[in-house]
Amino acid sequence: MARAKTERQIARRAAAARRRRQWQAGIGGAVALTLLVLAVIWKTGGFDPEPIRASECAWTPIDAGNGVTDVGKPRTNDIVKNGVKTMTIALGQGTVTTKLDPSKAPCTVESFTYLAGKKFFDNTTCHRMVNDSLLQCGDPSATGSGGPAYRFPDENNPPPAPAPSASAADPSAPADTNVLYPAGTVAMANSGVDTNGSQFFLVFKDVKLPPNYTVFGTIVGGMDVLTKIGEGGSEPANDGKPKTEAKISSLTVTDVAPQEDPTPATSVPASTPASSAPATPLASASSKS
């Protein structure tokens, strides 16, 4: 009986030892598998910091003040780069409808979509007319120096004029480097390279200007409204405040294609900037924005 008892104890201890070995082997295998998985993740960069996506649109902040209003900045990624948007400008004389093209100027269209959503342009005055051919708007301060608290780079500028040959009549005469902005053009005003803000201009007569301005849309309705404002002239003439007040009661941007005017205004011969006009007609006297 003592021998049988001893044998049973030995058997129980052996079974317990087997279970411990099996448990330890299982833990060891799980640890080895976990280490293998972690090694693979590390090798493939799984533990690297989340990479920062390059911004599709760069909004450079500027200090508020002097007509600059801080309403935040548009998104920098997932910018719409296709399709068509409609910008509707309600003036006291009537409505101007423009078709915006995100495929050619995605950051400009994104900025206008954002600012319109903030009602940035509502109850602002178009403060400038140049050569009775274009109306400049988008400055809440109506001083020529206002805009949002950011700037962004140029897009879709017209190609430079071809190098002209020397004039036979006066070889020393400066070459004309201006290019045509046809009637119906919607483009950005600026104070130099990559200084776009919120100021823009609507061309209602063909006009020649330097190829420095981002073209981001086309007027498809309301050319008669702009022409009527243009007929009132400006003070001073050729580059000044419109004599006929052009106040924007609202400006909206929607994702639907505009209903185009079936009888758009006909282009007229290009205007030549007056000799007294500044070298960059769309630069304001202060910030030239």
Ranges of each domain in the chain:
1-46, 60-160+175-254
- Check residue 52 and give its pLDDT: 43
More confident residue, 259 or 202: 202
Q: Token match 């082997």: residue?
A: 25
pLDDT of 207 strictly over 60: yes
Q: Is the pTM of the predicted complex or chain greater than 0.75?
A: no
The answer to whether the peptide bond before residue 61 is cis (omega within 30 degrees of 0) is: no
Q: Token match 């009527």: residue?
A: 228
Neighbouring CB atoms inside 10 A of 286's CB total 14
CATH number, domain 60-160+175-254: 2.40.100.10
Helix/strand/coil for 10: helix
- 99 Cβ contact partners less than 8 Å away, ≥ 6 residues apart: 84, 85, 86, 87, 217, 218, 220, 257, 258, 260
pLDDT of 268 strictly over 80: no
Q: Which of 256, 265, 177, 252 is nearest to 220 (CA)?
A: 265
Give the N- to C-terminal CA distance of the chain in Å, as an integer.
108
- pLDDT category at 107 given cuts 50, 70, 90 is very high
